[in-house]
Every structure is written in C-alpha cells, then in structure tokens.
C-alpha cells in the first residue's frame, strides 16, 4: 500500500475475479450469486479462519471461563484512504482498542459493510485486505459479517461496522469512574496525529513532512503495561473523537475528581502543531486512533512509563498530569506562561476560525 | 515552530510581566480590539499576570460577533433556497439567527459548506454551473482582500453564479465610536496586528491625536501581547499618546499596498450596523457599482424577515466593553456555548465563549489555586 492519500489502483490486481462488474451493483447485497461471489472470492480468502468458514448465520466459538467484554463501532471516515491507513485498519483497530482499554484481550470481531452502488471492487478489496492485515497484527479473528448495498447517492462509498468480543483479564479492574486522587496521568504518545492527517488530505495542506494517522492496535502495548503493573492501573481510555480534552473531561466527571495537566508536557508533533495553528484548532481536541491514556497509582507510574517507552507504539509516552481533589469534574491545564486555564468539553466539532 | 515558539517563552513572559509591574503607579484600562487577541489573553492567562489595576477591556473585533442579526437571518434564508450552495467560514455556522443557525439549515437539506478561502467558493461556482454559489463575506480588513479577490476573479472569469453576502467592518471607525461614547472607559488601545498587516497603521495617528490615547499595534502570541500592554502602560504613565508598532515582524506603516489597491477597486465605504452596538457611520465596506452584480443581497431579494434578539443577551454591553462576560446574568445559565443567546458565546474569538471555555466562571483565586499541586 503506498504511503500517500488514495492508493494507486491502476496496477492493482484484485483477488476477486471481476466477473461481470468492476464495481458494486445492487445485486451484491441481494443475497444471490453476486453476493456469494463477494464472500467466496474476497471475504473468505482475506479473513480465513475456522469460525468464519462455517458460513452459518452465526459464528460459533469458545472463549474459556471468566467475564467477557463487548464493544461496537461504526466507521464513516472520508477520505477512505489517508496517510497512515484506511477505513479498513480503523474499523479493526477501533474496536480492538475499545476492548483493550476496558481491560479485555480482544479475540473475535464481526464486520458489516454498507456499500454504495458503483463503489469500485478494487477499493473494496484494498479495504478488506487492510482489515485482514490489521486483524492479524492485533491477533483477532473476523468471524462473521454482512454486506448491504445502498443506491448510488445514499452512501459515501463504504461504511463499516465492527463489533468485538474479548476476555476480561483476571485481577484487573479499570473503568472511567475509577480514577483516584493522586493518580498520575500518562499518554502513550503524540496527540492529534489522526485528526490532522485526515484534515490535511481534506484541505490539501502540505508540510515538509507528511502527517500520518497514528491508527494502530493498542492491545499489545496495553498488555505489556497490565502484565507489569496491572493492579495499579485504575483507568484507561483511547482518546479518539474529541481528543485528549474530551477523554480527560469524561474521566474527571465519571470519577468525580479534578484533573490537572501541564500543557508543555503533552507531546505534539511539530507538523501537527503547525497544521493546528494554520486552521485555528487546538490539538487537545483533535482525534487519535492509536493512543491511550492511563491513570496509574503514583508508585507504579515510572515503571509503566518505562514499559511504554520500550514498546514501538509508546516511544513518545509522557507523564502529563495528576488527579486532584480540587475543582472536581474539571480539567485544568497549566500553560507555558505559568497561568492556569480550564479545558472544557467542546460542544460539537471544532470549527475553523475566520481569521 | 519558528516565529511561534519564541513568542511563547514562559520565562521571558514572566520577565515582561515584572517590567509592567515595575512601571505601573495607578490603574489603567486598555482595550484589545481584536477577538483573536482576547482569545489569546484568556487562553494564556495574560490577564492573570498583570498588576491588579491593569484591566483589559475586550473590544468588538470578532467579525462573527458583530455581524448583524438581520444579515444572519438573510444568510439563513438564502442558504435554505434550493439550487444554492452557501459557503462560509466554519465559525459562522453556529451563530444563532432569530429562529435557527446554518447548521440547522444544513440539517434541513440546505447545501451549506465550510470553506477555508473564498477562492474555494469561486472554484465551486466553476464546477457547479447549474447552482448559485454564495460566499458569506464577513470580517474586518484582514479577510477583506481575499473576499475582494473572489469577486474580482469571478468577474474576470464571467461567472454568473457566484455572489458575495458582504458584511465587512472596519477598525478605525469602531475606535472613533468607542471613544465618542459617553460611557467610554478605555484609556489606550492595542490595535489588531492582522488588520494592520493589510492596512498598515497610517490611519491611526489622527485617532491618537484626536482622543489623546496611546495606540499600540500588537500581535497575538503571549509575548506580543505583553509587549503591547507594556508599551501602552509606559505611554500612559508618561502621559504620552502616539502610535507604536509592537508587531514589526509583520506590520509596516504603509501596509500591503497591493491588497489596498484591490480593496479600493472592489469595495466602497458604507454605514454598517454592528450587532449589539448599533449603526456606526462609514464603518463598513460593500461592493461598489462595478461589482454590484455580485452582491448576494441584490441577487436574492429576501424580504419579510422578522429579526428578534434575545432580551437576556448582553452581548452589546460586552462588545462595547461596558461589562465582562461573566457579569451578564445569563452567562453560564441561559447562555452557554451549547445554547448561545448571542454570537459572542459562539465564535472562539467571542469574549463570552473565551471566558466560558477557559473556565472564567471560576473566581481568579479559584483559578490560581487550581495549579497548587503542580509545584
């Protein structure tokens, strides 16, 4: 897969024999022969695993004893392909990460596609292959799925829903309401990369070095942290839509505590900061797809930070703040000027300013 | 980042703040004209660093905030029409009209689009010859050149489906109006750096003389603002009143002459209503006769609009600098960024939104003590 924006499909060899149609037609969602061909030539070879190959109405699998975690997410990103990934990786990693930050080991995923009539099969194949690669990397299996087709003009090419099931780890108890006064706040790397990668493509912004999405499965990195200091971890979240600010505000509210961060310690890539300045946005509100925040008992924080630094996805991890009894349910930042400011939750999406 | 990081240095900021503390002997009230400066002052807590007697009064320089309600309602009516692509800068979309905002019009099926440049809207007009493309041209002198360029290009390319809904406003007449008001409390101005990058600062010496006030052309980063405030305070303490340029890396006395030529080619001065303030003579620009065909108000004859401001909204008092946002009884109660009564609660440059988003519903003591555990 090329590194920039939309891949070049001119030399793409589609694993699906193109039969009669190089694009999705209504019949692909009709439950007939065309739909079966999509399954047989595209989905099965890409996702191949025993639970899927039954092709029953439901996947059947065993998950051992203990409690389970389940999560679902829908993906409607535009553009479908962007620097650092595609809707395919996002759909797998998004659900994997939601399970991982809940303290579960992600195991099985479902994948549902809503395709727009006329969507190129070659692009669908690229997306499906990206999902298969991401699933293999994250160690999860895609065991059931569905495809529907909507008329041209009723969709944005391709929407994907994934749901996932994971086994909760023993002796781990994490949740948004469990942050404790004195906890140290860690973030696993630079913030705002995904949101600004998407924005730069949409707005045609170019910088000296290209901004790439941080889209990645976090379950391996999180497992390392939990293996080492699991009982000291109180809260984990992946700061996706609404960015770091929204995630920390949610935790402050759910745990009824105050959170203080040191603005200068929050890692932001130079090119992401530049793009934000240009568009009048604040990186703390920009989406991430491969970052986690940890609320950890202070005595375990250094160890956790060492573990993060030793993982390829956590090299830029940083200690950014603490949990306090003051200003409950609020996020306060110490600015570089030495003053304090409240970081509130945004109402909707950030709006670019006039000047 | 070059030209940004250097101007956000906390240590130098503390040093400049100390300098201000050293020269001040009595209270002064200084107005920063521009909403971008208000945003930066509140975001960086510059006002927390100043001596207690130095009060920053937040000026009317937020284009979103001063665009009159009648024109917003007109924009909503045009955007709702079939066959129209209505383009705007992002932060206009949530500004409340009498009954709705542009987001709601979009939700009801209007083709409303956020663009980053009016030239993008011209391109949309080229690509959609069967649609009428309208750009909402609001702003001060800063955004005017790009808007002027859009109609200039549209005319040159013979586009019949592009028009501009213009609500341009100008800084010098606003300073004149504020200083002439009987309730004025302002003793010095920080002039808006971006406006002056286009216009230069040749318009300001007559104002400094007439009203005997210091005017300091000021940038937007923390050190820019502290330097602007420092220079204004020094003049005030010495009893001087002249125009200084504290934003020399961007602003020259004459300004951007090419842009000024284009503005003169496309626009003419007009009386303009400022939301919450009222009509200020010759305080705006409209398209002149040569470009009248591109005026959306001429192209779309909208009538029968009944505009009504919320009686609880004190945005006018805030924009005139008469009260601070948190002094409005509705602030944080009936009026929040989620349910804004006025535009000052919407735009990130609006004083009310800046106060709300950065927690200025807390007292200064509460905010200061919030950082105690950082130490």
Instruction: Of B353, B32, B226, B36, give the one whose Cα is nearest residue A337.
Output: B226
Percent of chain A topping pLDDT 90:
72
C-alpha A184 chain-centroid distance: 23
CB contact under 8 A, A353 and B91: yes
Bridge partner residues of B367 (DSSP): none
A192 and A158 both lie in a single domain: no
Burial class of A327 by CB neighbour count within 10 A (0 to 12, 13 to 18, 19+): buried
Within a domain: residue A302? yes
Taking CA atoms, B276 is separated from A164, A328, B280, in Å, by 53, 36, 12
Burial class of A188 by CB neighbour count within 10 A (0 to 12, 13 to 18, 19+): buried
pLDDT score for B103: 93
pLDDT score for B373: 40
Alpha helices in B62-114 (DSSP H): 63-66, 69-79, 102-107
Q: From CA B99, how far away is CA B108, in angstroms rounded?
A: 13
Residue B374, pLDDT above cutoff 50: no
- Sequential DSSP letters for A208-273: SS---------HHHHHHHHHHHGGGEEEEE---TTHHHHHHHHHHHHHT-EEEEEGGGS---HHHH
Residue B309 — pLDDT band, cuts 50, 70, 90? Answer: confident
Interhelix angle B118-127/B144-156, nearest 10 degrees: 20
Bridge partner residues of B168 (DSSP): B139, B285
A333 and A194 both lie in a single domain: yes
Instruction: Of B86, B80, B138, give the one whose Cα is nearest residue B113.
Output: B86
Instruction: Of B105, B102, B74, give the one whose Cα is nearest residue B90.
Output: B102
The set of residues, in sequence order, having a beta carbon less than 8 Å from that of B15 and lying 6+ positions away, is: none
Within a domain: residue A2? no
Tens-place pLDDT, residues B111-155: 999 998 999 999 999 999 999 999 999 999 999 999 999 999 999
**Least confident piece of the model among A8-17, A171-180, A286-295, B256-265:** A8-17
Residues A103/A173, Cβ–Cβ less than 8 Å:
yes
Domain boundary, last residue among A112, A135, A168: A168
Within a domain: residue A104? yes
Bridge partner residues of A149 (DSSP): A115
- Residue ranges and CATH numbers for the domains of chain B are 5-63+181-245 (3.40.50.11750), 65-170+255-299 (3.40.50.11740), 315-357 (no CATH)
CB contact under 8 A, A340 and B337: no
Within a domain: residue A17? no
A53 and A149 both lie in a single domain: yes
**Phi–psi pair at B363, nearest 5 degrees:** -75, 160
Burial class of A10 by CB neighbour count within 10 A (0 to 12, 13 to 18, 19+): exposed
Asked if the ipTM is above 0.85, the reply is: no
Within a domain: residue A54? yes
The continuous run of DSSP H or E covering B178 comes out as helix B171-180
A277 and A306 both lie in a single domain: yes
- Sequential DSSP letters for A150-165: E-TTSSSSEEEEEEEE
Taking CA atoms, A279 is separated from A244, A275, A290, B91, in Å, by 18, 6, 23, 12
Nearest by CB to residue B8, choosing from A336, A342, A347, is A336
The continuous run of DSSP H or E covering A145 comes out as strand A141-150
Domain boundary, last residue among A126, A144, A168: A168
Q: How is residue A126 written in tokens? A: 């690229």
Q: From CA B288, how far away is CA B279, in angstroms rounded?
A: 20
Residue B40 DSSP class: H
- Domain of A39: which CATH number? 3.30.1330.10
Within a domain: residue A269? yes
**SS3 state of residue B275:** coil
Residues A116/A124, Cβ–Cβ less than 8 Å:
no
Taking CA atoms, B148 is separated from A276, B34, B267, in Å, by 26, 21, 7
Residues 93-122 of B with CB under 8 A from A: 93-94, 103, 114, 116
A279 inside 8 A of chain B by CB = yes
pLDDT score for A243: 95
Tens-place pLDDT, residues A296-332: 999 999 999 999 999 999 999 999 999 999 888 999 9
Which residues form the domain of A319?
184-342
Which one of B348, B349, B356, B365 makes the best mutation probe of the A interface by having the most chain A beta carbons within 10 Å? B348
Domain boundary, last residue among A115, A139, A168: A168
pLDDT score for B46: 93
- Sequential DSSP letters for B220-232: SSHHHHHHHHHHH
Q: From CA A191, how far away is CA A247, in angstroms rounded?
A: 12
A92 and A192 both lie in a single domain: no
Tens-place pLDDT, residues B176-208: 999 999 989 999 999 999 999 999 999 999 999
pTM assigned to the model: 0.86
CB contact under 8 A, B90 and A322: no
Residues of B in contact with A258 (CB under 8 A): 370
A37 and A162 both lie in a single domain: yes
C-alpha A94 chain-centroid distance: 3
Residues B39/B219, Cβ–Cβ less than 8 Å:
no
A140 and A64 both lie in a single domain: yes
A209 and A290 both lie in a single domain: yes
Residue B27, pLDDT above cutoff 80: yes
Residue B369 — pLDDT band, cuts 50, 70, 90? Answer: low
pLDDT score for A352: 63
Residue B372, pLDDT above cutoff 50: no
Structurally, how many domains does chain A consist of? Answer: 2
A78 inside 8 A of chain B by CB = no
In B179-325, which ranges are E strands?
Answer: 188-192, 215-218, 243-245, 267-274, 278-287
Residue A106 distance to chain B (closest CA, Å): 37
Which one of B370, B372, B375 makes the best mutation probe of the A interface by having the most chain A beta carbons within 10 Å? B370
Q: Considering chain B, what is the average pLDDT of its residues?
A: 91
Instruction: Of B304, B291, B356, give the one whose Cα is nearest residue B328.
Output: B356
pLDDT score for A13: 54
C-alpha A256 chain-centroid distance: 26
A274 and A125 both lie in a single domain: no
CB contact under 8 A, B142 and A355: yes
Tens-place pLDDT, residues A199-235: 888 877 777 678 999 999 999 999 999 999 999 999 9
Residues B245/B201, Cβ–Cβ less than 8 Å:
yes
Q: How is residue A170 written in tokens? A: 């023993």
Residue A354 distance to chain B (closest CA, Å): 6
A191 and A156 both lie in a single domain: no
In chain B, which ranges are E strands?
Answer: 28-34, 54-61, 84-88, 111-114, 132-139, 162-169, 188-192, 215-218, 243-245, 267-274, 278-287
Within a domain: residue A102? yes
Q: From CA B103, how far away is CA B113, in angstroms rounded?
A: 10
The set of residues, in sequence order, having a beta carbon less than 8 Å from that of B208 and lying 6+ positions away, is: B214, B215, B241, B242, B243
CB contact under 8 A, B90 and A339: no
- Cα Rg of chain A, angstroms: 21
Within a domain: residue A348? no
Q: From CA B346, how far away is CA B327, in angstroms rounded?
A: 17
Residues of B in contact with A351 (CB under 8 A): 90-91, 93-94, 114, 348
Q: From CA B210, how far away is CA A31, in angstroms rounded?
A: 81
A328 and A225 both lie in a single domain: yes
Among chain B residues, the shortest Cα distance to A182 is held by B373
pLDDT score for A19: 57
- Domain of A223: which CATH number? 3.90.650.10
A155 and A213 both lie in a single domain: no
Residue B361, pLDDT above cutoff 70: no
Interhelix angle A298-309/A219-229, nearest 10 degrees: 140
Residue B321 — pLDDT band, cuts 50, 70, 90? Answer: confident
């Amino acid at each position: 897969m090329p590194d920039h924006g939309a891949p070049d499909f001119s030399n793409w060899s589609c694993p699906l024999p193109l039969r009669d149609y190089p694009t999705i037609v209504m019949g692909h969602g009709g439950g007939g022969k065309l739909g079966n061909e999509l399954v047989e030539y595209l989905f099965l070879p890409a996702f191949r695993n025993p639970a899927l190959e039954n092709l029953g109405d439901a996947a059947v699998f065993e998950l051992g004893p203990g409690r389970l975690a389940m999560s679902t997410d829908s993906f409607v990103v535009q553009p479908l392909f962007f620097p650092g990934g595609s809707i395919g990786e996002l759909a797998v990693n998004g659900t994997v990460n939601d399970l991982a930050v809940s303290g579960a080991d992600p195991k099985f995923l479902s994948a549902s596609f809503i395709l727009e009539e006329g969507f190129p099969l070659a692009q669908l194949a690229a997306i499906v292959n990206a999902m298969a690669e991401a699933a293999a990397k994250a160690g999860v299996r895609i065991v059931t799925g569905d495809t529907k087709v909507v008329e041209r003009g009723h969709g944005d090419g391709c929407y994907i829903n994934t749901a996932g099931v994971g086994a909760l780890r023993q002796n781990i108890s994490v949740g948004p309401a469990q942050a404790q006064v004195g906890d140290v706040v860690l973030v696993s790397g630079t913030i705002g990369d995904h949101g600004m990668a998407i924005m730069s493509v949409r707005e045609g912004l170019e910088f000296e070095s290209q901004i790439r999405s941080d889209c990645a499965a976090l379950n391996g990195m999180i497992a390392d942290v939990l293996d080492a200091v699991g009982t000291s971890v109180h809260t984990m979240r992946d700061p996706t839509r609404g960015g770091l600010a929204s995630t920390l505000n949610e935790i402050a509210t759910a745990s009824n505590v105050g959170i203080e961060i040191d603005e200068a310690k929050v890692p932001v890539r130079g090119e992401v900061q530049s793009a934000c300045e240009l568009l009048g946005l604040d990186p703390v509100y920009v989406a991430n797809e491969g970052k986690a925040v940890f609320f950890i008992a202070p005595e375990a924080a250094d160890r956790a930070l060492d573990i993060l630094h030793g993982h390829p996805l956590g090299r830029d991890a940083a200690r950014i703040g603490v949990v306090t009894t003051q200003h409950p349910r609020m996020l306060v930042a110490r600015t570089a000027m030495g003053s304090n400011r409240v970081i509130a939750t945004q109402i909707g999406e950030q709006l670019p300013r006039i000047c | 980042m070059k030209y940004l990081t250097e101007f956000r240095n906390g240590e130098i900021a503390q040093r400049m703040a100390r300098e201000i503390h050293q020269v001040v002997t009595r209270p002064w009230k200084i107005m920063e004209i521009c909403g971008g400066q208000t945003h930066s002052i509140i975001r960086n807590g510059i006002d927390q660093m100043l001596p207690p007697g130095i009060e920053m009064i937040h000026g009317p320089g937020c284009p979103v905030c001063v665009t009159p309600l009648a024109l917003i309602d007109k924009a909503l009516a045009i955007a709702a029409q079939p066959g129209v692509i209505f383009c705007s800068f992002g932060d206009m979309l949530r500004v409340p009209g009498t009954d709705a905002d542009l987001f709601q019009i979009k939700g009801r099926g209007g083709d409303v689009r956020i663009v980053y440049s009016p030239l993008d809207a011209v391109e949309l007009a080229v690509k959609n010859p069967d649609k009428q493309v309208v750009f909402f041209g609001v702003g001060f002198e800063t955004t005017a050149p790009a808007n002027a360029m859009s109609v200039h290009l549209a005319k040159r390319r013979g586009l019949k489906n592009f028009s501009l809904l213009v609500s341009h406003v100008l800084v010098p007449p606003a300073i004149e109006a504020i200083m002439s008001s009987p309730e004025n409390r302002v003793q010095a101005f920080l002039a808006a750096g971006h406006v002056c990058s286009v216009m230069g600062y040749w318009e300001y010496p007559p104002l400094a003389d007439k009203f005997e006030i210091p005017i300091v052309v000021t940038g937007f980063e923390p050190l820019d603002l502290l330097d602007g405030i420092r220079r204004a305070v020094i003049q005030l303490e010495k009893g001087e009143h002249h125009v200084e340029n504290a934003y020399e890396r961007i602003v020259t006395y004459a300004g951007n002459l090419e842009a000024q030529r284009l503005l003169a080619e496309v626009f003419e001065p007009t009386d303009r209503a400022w939301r919450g303030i009222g009509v200020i003579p010759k305080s705006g620009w409209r398209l002149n006769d040569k470009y009248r065909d591109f005026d959306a108000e001429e192209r779309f004859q909208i009538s029968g609009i009944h505009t009504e401001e919320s009686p609880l909204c004190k945005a006018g008092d805030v924009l005139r600098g008469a009260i601070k946002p948190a002094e409005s009884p509705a602030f944080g109660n009936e009026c929040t960024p989620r349910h804004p009564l006025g535009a000052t609660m919407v735009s990130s440059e609006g004083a009310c939104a800046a106060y709300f988003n950065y927690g200025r519903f807390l007292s200064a003591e509460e905010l200061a003590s919030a950082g105690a555990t950082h130490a």
